[in-house]
Structure 1
Amino acid sequence: MSAQNKTENILFDIHEKSYNAESKILDLVIIIDNNKDENFKGKLKVSTPTGFRSILGQEIFVDLQKNEKRFISLKFFVGNNADAGDAQINLILTNEFDQKIGEKTVIHQVQESSILQMTAENQQIFRDNNLDSLKIRIKVSNKGNRMQQTTLVFKIPDYSDSNHFIEQHGTLRPQQDSTFTFSFLPSKELLKQSNFTINVTGFKDPDKELFGNTRISVQSVSHTQKFQDEQQNGFASTTRNSITTSYRRVGNDLDMYQILGSGGFNVASGYIFINGNMFMMNSQTDPIINNTYISYRREKSEFTLGNISKLLELSLFGRGIEYSFLNSAKDKKIEVGFIEQSFSLLERNSFLQNGYGFYVKGILNPYNFSHNLSSIYIFKNDPYEKAKHHLLGTEFTHNFNNLWQTSSKLYGGISIYDQNGITKPSLAFESQYSGIIKKLNLNGNIFYSSDYYPGNRRGSLQIQQNVNLMVFKKHYAFANVFYSNYSPKYYFYQTQLSSDNVKMEAGLNFAKTGSIGYSFAYQYQFEKSNSYNNFLPQFQKMIYQFKRIEL
């Protein structure tokens, strides 16, 4: 920084300079000393380079009494788009007539940041015309503060010869996004394949340092080719478009027969996928058919008929039909379904005897796992509770930044019981979070549901908090607290369950010595329930309420 300026008995100087790398705040303390026998009024004008922002603004009014000395604190935010290297901040002090009294130049060195990210605009490409060229679009983002020379290498398979490698070069300014587009016409041998994969790798020039890679799956949906949907895997033990039969014998008298398979094919307008599983044992009169369904897809719509499994807040499993629609922008989706609660497609029980349910669900940004919102309505007729349950709720996920994330659920329900004519309202709430404050990692969740809540977790209260702190290099302190109360209530059960669990733990994880790790922890655990050994007399039950301390 420059030397002191003293003009017209006004002293103007830099008193102190500091920089916080975590908050990216540059602090300057300016001293202005009025040695005159009269008041001084003026302005302090601030000029900053690209990427720097003065929190107090570009002009700061100064009003000093005679012989008054004042310290002025200036704060600058150093953004990600600040160029690496020496940055100059100019400070000019003027009087009330805009005449320059003094000038300062502050030099701040911006550390170099080199961060590149690459993503494919479409991870899966469907081709319906073999005469058209194939276009691959890769988005590269320069998140650093220096200009970057990049090279993208496209690896194209060629089944008649070796692989082909095509390079594209580009220059990205700091905080700039650029899209690399590569078009080519697949060879005749490649066109014969129903699907193939293109690999793209990104390098920083001139050292060819790898910064990312991605894969693009290309599938042909033309009428001359066989379409295989990669999203449908069927059973883990089978492959697509296949049928497997098996026979098993357990012991001396148990025989089991099974047939399962999955496959898909194109139709005149759309695509059909079928999945099936059927097994039978010699002790049964009817075969069990589950996980068996047929799906029809056309443009943005999909219909599914057969076994439907929906892991919702009020889960539904059984025979049914489901419809889903996704808009062209892929940011809005709706699902509607009806499910009859029968395990097998072939049931001797009359239709709807085991109960039934239906649901409507709308989702905003279904493929954005950082920011999404959904709402759902679920109805279930439960013959075992002799009740009709209505559940309405919403769920959302929001990432504030790379360090803090949160998700929450809120559900309200109404249960109408046929046997006693009671209408019972209920509520459930859940919230989860995770974040980092300097070297402190935090995450926790809380869940609450009322006693007669018809969802999967009835009558529950769960609170959990985890803390992890790096005390010094490679040594971590941790603490966990967990509390659970489970006390669901039913109108058709005589005995009501109630249990409490408390667990607290704290300790240290020390750095590894070779392949051996060390830790020291204190643990406290308490459990209590009215379900422990109900066959014992009342005075003996208290023995099974216990506490445990571990060291």
Structure 2
Amino acid sequence: MFRNRKKLCFTGLLLISLYTFHGIKAQSVAEEPVGLEIRESSVNAQVISHILKITNRSEQIFTGTVLLDPLSELRSLSQGEREISVAQNDSVFVAYRLIAAKDIGAGRKAIRYIILNEKKERVLARETYIDIEEREQIFFMTDDAPLMITRPEDSVRVHVTVNNSGNTYQEVTLVFNVPNLREAPAFTEMKITMAPMEQKRFIHSFIPSGNLLSSGQFSVHITAMKGREKTIFGSKTVTVQNVFTDRKYIDTNPARNLYPGQGLADNSVTLSYRQYNATSNMLQLQGGGYMNLPAGYLHLKGNIYKYNSGHTPMITNTSLMYKLEENEFTIGNVSEQTELPLFGRGAKAILSTADRRKTLTFGAVDQNFNLIGSQPWFTEYYSFYIQGALGANNSDRGMEATYIYQKNPYEKAIYNVGGLQWRSLLGKNWSIHMETHGALSSYENIPDSKFSGAAELRYRGNLPFGIALDGSGYYSDGYFPGSRKGTLSFTQGVNKRLSENTYISGSIGYNRTAPKSYAYTYTYRSENSYGNIMLSLPKLGRVTSSLYYRHQGESSPSYTSWLDEGTVSGNVRMVSHRMGWQGRWQSPNARHSLFGTLEAGFFADPLEGGRSGQAKTTLNYSFREVMIDASYQKGAYYLYEYMMAKQQHKEFNRFTSSVSINKNISKKLSFSSGINFSHDVYQGSVPSANLTANFFAKDNMAFFMNAYWYRYTFINSSNMFNVQVGVTWNFSKSQPMKGRKSKVVAQVYYDHNANNRYDDGDEPAGGYLLNIDNKAFISDEEGKVRYSLVPYGEYIVKPIQTGRWFFDRKKITAKSARTVINISLKQSGTLQGSVGYISDENSVEILPRYEGLRFIVINTDGTVVQTVVTDADGKFTTFLPMGTYTITFDTKTLPEHSECKDYTRTFTIEAGKTTVLDPFEIEVKERKINIKRFFASD
């Protein structure tokens, strides 16, 4: 019975629960009779497809509307509001296609659908979300055509267009740099925040300084950066051309950079004052300059100085040279590299073929270095010479012949010297160079003429197994009048690479000098020999090192007078042998470097016999602008060191150290300084210091100061101090032109009768812009432009910009001193065109772009005549000469999802008339529609 009661209670509770659940469900249906489910499928990055499932849970037909919330940032490609009718307990499906325009911002976007009943009352709303990824796309543009300066007082305006095609806000920074701009900052920065799909135009204005206006053209560099980190997203350079009516041809070598300071002697001038201690001073003017002439150029260089103790200024290294093609004519101080020393005041000429294969040089030299010396020219010490060369421009093959006549008052002789040089290649691996010289000399005190001679051989080549050899030998008679008289010498070198980073090399040499004279008694004699072997070691980390052996021999009788009489007689000879190591280390960032050597050996004592030790160590450390050097030597290395120590009855040793710094404080100021100290047994302690400072006031002017002090002890202590101050002017950086030049005169006129002649009825075209040799010109009131010092050759003349008057591009040839060209301007026709967009309800939604669409104009020869670009209204206007042309729409500039089917047109231009083209139709492509079909199940 108990069990029956329990079963009855359980059944009652179950019925109560079922009734309660049914009541809740009925209540839910009553509160929300319609259900909405959103199914999403992404089509591409811009189009989103939604399928809405609408369910009617009520017991009656539901009639109403489903619509997309107009506040949503995405737009529907189809009708946004749809009427629906859903039977009881049934469902319907509604498809929406939404487009995310390119200007939509990044981030999470809400999409809301609302269901209204037939009374337009809201029944329910559902939301879904999509995430728009960040898209960065930003670029900037400048005008490709150079900017023209026709009025120096006007400002230069550089236009830059920045386009933010991404979907995020961008902080944009533009930096404009005008190099060498004076009296204003060279760098200018502009900042702005740009919204997505925003385009803005920047204008940078500045007044060009005088140095920029004097140049043919200059550049403005533009750097574009984005974000707070200032990430560079582009850089461009705009060229600014100065337009002249009259200008000279300028040939500038970009590899040549005149460094301000003391300048270059060939194209600058330096004025300086130098003070030596308190008693002596010197004023000096040195430098040089070029002057282009209609044929060739002049080069004047000089060095003039005067001491306060002298009455006559010294003029040395001063000459005037005229160069035409490869020929040179020089008067003043001249020098020539021959076996006899030839330098002094005089004149010389070099005649050469155009390719410099054959040259003839001749000259006369009065061997007095002061150009205005009191001694008359060509009276005591003078020379005449002539030299011919074949293959002068070839360092491997050629020959030279030389003759020199010289009167030498010091040797009381007249020399007639002839020389022959020959050089050639032997096979592919060997080259040889031979010289022979013969001299026939007559002396005042000797009745017969004397003959002497000299010969030299140099060679280099390769043996099998990668062995390279080079060597030389020289011999001259003791009475030979050359600069190496009484010399016997030879050298031999060999090297071989063992691996990529190791090699072995060696060399030996011998030299004996014993000059003789018929006028004087020479006692000088010296003999030297050496031998070296070096082996590079494998690199260890960042350390490179090598081992070496050195032999050194020296012999001379000149040192016998240094010691007490009878101590030594004849030659004093010293032979030494040393082993050494040298190594170099450099940090990874190349800021630190260390170089050192360590060597030791012995030498045979020249006076006392036996062996004496010798050793030396050096260390060099550099860090950025600072360099530190130190060395210590124990034992003599050379005969003069040994003999100096013997005079002091001491062993030779020397210690040296130095600290130097080279610092650029700013673009205008730099300095270098050093402190040095040395000590040895002969000179004692010798401290010294030096300082150099440069101030670059302008591009072409700089001030400098050099100061030097040292102290030495010789019987008494002496302090030596000198300081030099000066200023340097650098002249034009243009290259001198050695060829012939022409003056080009162009007459620009309006050719009203179109007969290509400047006659009655025509008038000068003043203020017309044209381009000659890529230089901008503007005609004067008479319609003329002048281009001077133009090297012979061919040049292009063309208009700079299109207008109502034009002339055809032409080639001119400058081949005489004056070149006159007539430029007849003919009236052109006007071409106008435009673009338009065509779309319908099925077209993809795009953002139409009108500005920057490009068209290419081609003539009947297939030559591109012009490239035109549409303005903000999608229109373009240009001017063209009479004729038939074809214009082509550059479809690469079309917006995405668009096309132009009729993109090529042919048209005719008539003078003075306007040709208007039919608009180019840009069709927006239709969107793709995905169709989904649903079938009721049986």
The equivalent residue for 1:544 is: 572
> Structure 1 CA distance, aligned partners of 2:392 and 2:307?
42
- Alpha-carbon separation, structure 2, partners of 1:265 and 1:391: 37
- Cα deviations by residue, 1:204-256 (Å, 9 ceiling, x for unpaired): xxxxxxxxxxxxxxxxxxx952667989x9x9733655433222222212221
Which residue of 348, 352, 360 corresponds with 2:378? 352
Do 1:228 and 1:264's aligned partners in 2 also have CA atoms closer than 8 Å?
A: no
Deviation at 1:422, TM superposition (A): 4.0
Alpha-carbon distance in 1 for matches of 2:555, 2:248: 63
Unaligned runs of 5+ in 1: 1-158, 160-188, 195-222
Change in CA separation of 1:304 and 1:250 when aligned onto 2, cut-off 3 Å: same
Contact kept in structure 1, 2:494 and 2:505, CA below 8 Å = yes
* One-letter amino acid of the counterpart of residue 553, structure 2: F
Residue 302 of structure 1: how far off its partner (Å): 2.3
Match of 2:561 in 1: 534
1:545 maps to amino acid = R
Mean Cα deviation higher: 428-437 or 501-510 = 501-510
Partner-residue secondary structure (3-state), 1:346: coil
Alpha-carbon spacing, 1:506–1:328, altered in 2? closer, same or farther (3 Å) = closer
Q: Name 1:334's counterpart in structure 2.
A: 360
Q: CA deviation at 1:461?
A: 0.7
Q: Which residue of 1 aligns with 2:263?
A: 237
SS at match of 1:534: helix
Residues 51-71 of structure 1: per-residue CA shift (max 9 Å, x gap) = xxxxxxxxxxxxxxxxxxxxx
> Residue 518 of structure 2: SS of its match in structure 1?
coil
2:495 aligned partner, one-letter code: N
Contact preservation (8 Å) 1:526, 1:547? yes
Shift of 1:507: 4.5
The residue aligned with 1:33 is none
Aligned partner letter, 2:549: Y
Aligned counterpart, 1:416: 442
SS in 1 for 2:411: coil
SS in 2 for 1:550: strand
Q: Are 1:451 and 1:458, in contact at CA under 8 Å, matched by a contact in 2? A: yes
Question: In the alignment, which residue of structure 2 is the partner of 1:440?
Answer: 467
Distance in structure 2 (CA, Å) of the matches to 1:227 and 1:467: 49
In structure 1, how many angstroms separate the alpha carbons of the residues matched to 2:381 and 2:252? 34
CA–CA distance in 2 between the matches of 1:378 and 1:486?
A: 24
Counterpart in the other structure of 2:341: 315
CA distance in 2, matches of 1:227, 1:281: 40
Contact 2:325–2:354 under 8 Å retained in 1: no
In structure 1, what is the Cα distance between the partners aligned to 2:550 and 2:269? Answer: 52
The correspondence for 1:225, drawn from 239, 248, 255, is 248
Question: Aligned partner of 1:365: which letter?
Answer: G
Partners of 2:262 and 2:270 within 8 A in 1: no
Instruction: Say if 1:405 and 1:433, in contact at 8 Å, map to a contact too.
Output: yes
Find the aligned partners of 1:541 and 1:387 in 2 and give their Cα distance: 33
Q: Give the C-alpha shift of residue 399 in structure 1.
A: 3.3
Q: Is the 8 A contact 1:229 1:264 kept in 2?
A: no
User: 1 CA distance for matches of 2:361 and 2:312?
Assistant: 33
Q: Pick from 457, 462, 482: which aligns with 1:431?
A: 457
Change (3 A) 1:254 1:331: same
Q: Which residue of 1 aligns with 2:544?
A: 517
Task: Give per-residue Cα distances to partners, 1:363-403, cap 9 Å, x unaligned.
Answer: 11222222221111111110000001111111123234663
Q: Secondary structure at the match of 2:468?
A: strand
TM-score norm. by structure 2 comes to 0.34
| Structure 1 position 455 matched with structure 2 position 482 | yes
Report the RMSD for the aligned CA atoms in angstroms. 3.4
Counterparts in 2 of 1:303 and 1:472: CA distance versus 1, 3 Å = closer
Give, as a single letter, the amino acid of the residue that structure 2 aligns with 1:525: Q
Structure 1 match to 2:518: 491
TM-superposed deviation, 1:466: 1.0
Match of 1:252 in 2: 278
Distance 1:305 1:324 in 2: 12
1:279 aligns with 305
Q: Tell me which amino acid in the other structure corresponds to 2:536.
A: N
Structure 2 CA distance for aligned equivalents of residues 227 and 326 of structure 1: 25
Match among 287, 311, 322 for residue 261 of structure 1: 287
Could you report, residue by residue, the CA deviation over 1:87-124 in whole angstroms, capped at 9, with x for unpaired residues?
xxxxxxxxxxxxxxxxxxxxxxxxxxxxxxxxxxxxxx
Structure 2 gap ranges (5+): 1-178, 180-211, 218-245, 580-938
* Residue aligning to 1:136: none
Distance in 2 separating the partners of 1:357 and 1:334: 17
Identify the residue that residue 27 of structure 1 maps to in structure 2.
none
Percent of aligned positions that are identical: 29
Corresponding residue number in structure 2 for 1:367: 393
Shift of 1:193: 4.7
What displacement does 1:484 show? 1.2
Asked if 1 retains the 8 angstrom alpha-carbon contact of 2:384 and 2:406, the reply is: yes
Question: Cα deviations across residues 316-361 of structure 1 (Å, max 9, x unaligned)?
Answer: 1111011111123431110010000111111112333450001101
TM-score, normalised via structure 1 length: 0.56
Q: What is the 5 A alignment of 1:60-459?
A: 193=216, 225=248, 237-238=263-264, 241-400=267-426, 403-437=429-463, 438-459=465-486
Q: Which AA in structure 1 matches 2:301?
A: N
**CA–CA distance in structure 2, aligned partners of residues 265 and 334 of structure 1:** 25
The aligned amino acid for 1:461 is L
Match for residue 469 of structure 1 among 493, 496, 512? 496
CA distance in 2, matches of 1:459, 1:240: 38
Q: Is the 8 A contact 2:493 2:507 kept in 1?
A: yes
Greater RCO structure (CA 8 Å; 6+ sep): 2
User: How far apart, in 2, do the equivalents of 1:290 and 1:521 lie?
Assistant: 45
SS at match of 2:419: strand
Instruction: Specify whether residues 533 and 244 from structure 1 end up closer, same or farther in structure 2 by C-alpha distance, changes over 3 A only.
Output: same
User: Structure 1 residues 516, 329: CA separation in 2 closer, same or farther (over 3 Å shift)?
Assistant: closer
Q: Could you tell me how far apart the structure 2 residues matched to 1:300 and 1:250 are?
A: 44
Q: Which moved more, 1:262-271 or 1:304-313?
A: 262-271
Q: 1:260 to 1:513 in 2, by over 3 A?
A: same
Partner SS for 2:274: strand
Alignment partners' CA distance in 2, 1:393 and 1:429: 9
Specify the structure having the higher radius of gyration (Cα). 2
Distance 1:258 1:528 in 2: 43
Report deviation, 1:483: 1.2
CA deviation vs aligned residue, 1:410-452 (integer Å, no higher than 9, x gap): 1111111112234221111111111122321111111111111
Q: Give yes or no for contact 1:406–1:432 (8 Å, CA) kept in 2.
A: yes
Q: How many positions carry a matched residue from both structures?
A: 339
Q: CA deviation at 1:485?
A: 1.2
SS at match of 1:421: strand
CA distance in 1, matches of 2:493, 2:420: 26
Q: Post-superposition shift, 1:277?
A: 1.5
What is the CA–CA distance in structure 2 between the aligned matches of 1:250 and 1:226, rounded to whole Å?
46
Instruction: Say if 1:483 and 1:493 are closer, same or farther in 2 by CA, change over 3 A.
Output: same
Q: What is the CA-CA distance between 1:471 and the residue it aligns to?
A: 4.1
Alpha-carbon contact 2:271-2:284 (below 8 Å) kept: yes
Moved more, 413-422 or 312-321: 413-422
